[in-house]
Copies of this chain bind each other. A is one copy, B any other.
Amino acid sequence: MAKISALSGFPEWLPSERLVEQHVIDVFREVAELHGFSGIETRAVEPLEQLLRKGEIDKEVYVLRRLHAEDEDASAAGAGSDPARTLGLHFDLTVPLARYVLEHQNDLAFPLRRYQVQKVWRGERPQDGRFREFYQADLDVIGQDTLPGHIEAEVAVVMAEILARLPLPAVTIHANTRKLSEGFFRSIGLEDHTAVLRALDKLPKIGEEAVRDLLLGEAGASIEQADACLAFAQIRTRDASFAEQVRELGGRGEMVEEGIEELTAVVERVEAAVPGVILADLSIARGLDYYTGTVFESFVEGHEGLGSICSGGRYDSLATDNRHSYPGVGLSIGLSRLVARMLSAQMVRATRPVPTCVLVSVADEGSRSDSDAVARALRSRGIPCEVAPTAAKLGKQIRYADRRGIPFVWFPSADGEHEVKDIRSGEQSSADVATWQPPAKDRTVRIVPADGA
């Protein structure tokens, strides 16, 4: 037998851990569907040509080839180096969505409300502690040619509800908008807003003094301008009061006022739907040169070092062909990274490691069909059951249930006098297969905060 070892960067969960991941995916799906989002999946591969259109990320692509690709197959399976024919694994769900929208535009209703939870692959160096295979969970609304601005708030509301339902410490969604930042920099006389954003983006890493130097040097700011930018980036409010602070710092003009209006709408609409989650945070700069409207990052209280667990915003053009352009608003959760932290920091636990609620014991192999019938009756009422694998001594069957984490053991009886034992308390009572109910908390396995019951 070959030596077996874990592959760095390819996380894999034990059954009880997978329950946590599955729960996060289930919550995401449930909330997204409650808001009328359709689930789709795209193929795992795209032509390399498509994947390389975002230049920066090309080093991270895994390219495929068939092990025994023959010349005749080169056209189909990417044996050659032609980027139109070579296939690579997708590294996000945005490039595939753009292709899917163009490919199926005649069969889709716009605005398209879609969610997508799939694994993506990146050839990151495993020593950076990054995953090479991980789940992303994306939520986007895509318009055809136009997309109303209020969708930015709507997508944030959906994501806020998802994050609020997850068994996490408090999550805050930090929002900013490009118009506000760019308008502010312009209104205080700084034209190279990209250089300013690039500098401000480094605040968490290099600190205020170093950013000030960058603003003075690379962004061409005066001392007063640099101070105004730094003060601007410190504005954080739970309501619309950020607007007054921006104006006090000298922000004015059409672009600033539009930005204020946009961000106020987002903050107020999210606050109305999920109180306490949204924060106007004018330091959020990442992606403001890619995104064209509101931009979001999200942090977990006490786990800020994890970075943003959910980011996104408004972009003018997901895709374009010679008939249409497709603007969108999207948010994406780095789901595997979040689940890995939930597990390693023991934020949550499954109430038991297996789905099974009841182990139906077997007195002897001759009566196995009676045990089967009991299990069948319980399952028909939605109670997850398994039948003991061997007709061992009852004590051994109870220990088997205990080892698997099954809370109840059922003792069938030929005369109908069944009994059921809660092996945690030791309490045993008579029970009817047609009516017995486990306590609601035990019926199915649940994911609860680590200190929860």
Q: Which A residues form the contact surface with B (CB < 8 A)?
A: 1-2, 4-15, 18-19, 21-22, 33-45, 47-50, 53, 58-69, 73, 76-77, 84, 87-89, 99-100, 102-104, 107-109, 111, 113-114, 119, 121, 123, 125-126, 132-133, 148, 150-151, 154, 157, 269, 272-273, 319-322, 353-356, 365, 368-369, 372-373, 376, 379, 382-387, 389-390, 403-404, 406, 444
Contact in complex: A64, B36 (CB < 8 Å):
no
Closest to A77 in B: B123
Least CB distance, A132 to chain B, in whole angstroms = 8
Q: Which 3 A-B pairs have the closest CB atoms?
A: A36-B356, A36-B386, A15-B38
**Is A109 a contact partner of B403 (Cβ separation < 8 A)?**
yes
Contact, CB under 8 Å: A40 / B15? yes
Contact for A354 among B36, B67, B319, CB less than 8 A: B36
A69, B321: Cβ atoms closer than 8 Å: no
Task: Name 22 interchain pairs, CB-CB below 8 A, sorted by A.
Answer: A2-B49, A2-B50, A4-B99, A4-B102, A6-B103, A7-B87, A11-B43, A13-B40, A14-B107, A14-B108, A34-B382, A38-B355, A44-B133, A58-B68, A61-B67, A62-B77, A63-B67, A64-B89, A69-B123, A109-B403, A109-B404, A150-B368
**Are A12 and B41 in contact, with the CB atoms below 8 A?**
yes
What residue in chain B is nearest A143 (Cβ atoms)?
Answer: B389
- A389 to chain B: which residues have CB within 8 Å? 111, 148, 151
Distance between Cα atoms of A14 and B121 in the complex (Å):
23
Report the Cα distance A257→B39, complex, angstroms: 52
Which residue of B5, B36, B373, B376 is within 8 Å of A355 (Cβ)? B36
**Known A68-B58, A109-B403; contact A18-B4, beta-carbon cutoff 8 A:** no
B41 touches A372 (CB 8 A): no
Q: A123–B66 contact, CB under 8 A? A: yes
CA distance A414 to B76 in the complex (A): 60
A8–B73 alpha-carbon span in the complex (Å): 13
B42 engages A12 (CB within 8 Å):
yes
- Determine how close the nearest CB of chain B comes to the CB of A14; give it in whole angstroms: 5
A12 and B100 form a contact (CB under 8 A) = yes
Chain B residue nearest to A147 (CB atoms) is B389
Q: Write out the residue numbers on chain B whose beta carbons fall within 8 Å of the beta carbon of A444.
A: 33
Interface pair B272/A15, CB less than 8 Å apart: no
Q: Report yes or no: B41 in contact with A385, Cβ–Cβ below 8 A.
A: no
Write out the residue numbers on chain B whose beta carbons fall within 8 Å of the beta carbon of A376: 273
**Which residues from chain B contact A66 at a C-beta distance below 8 Å?**
59-63, 123
A119 and B44 contact, CB distance less than 8 A: yes
Contact, CB under 8 Å: A273 / B44: no
Given A62-B65, A67-B61, A123-B69, A43 contacting B269 (CB threshold 8 A): no
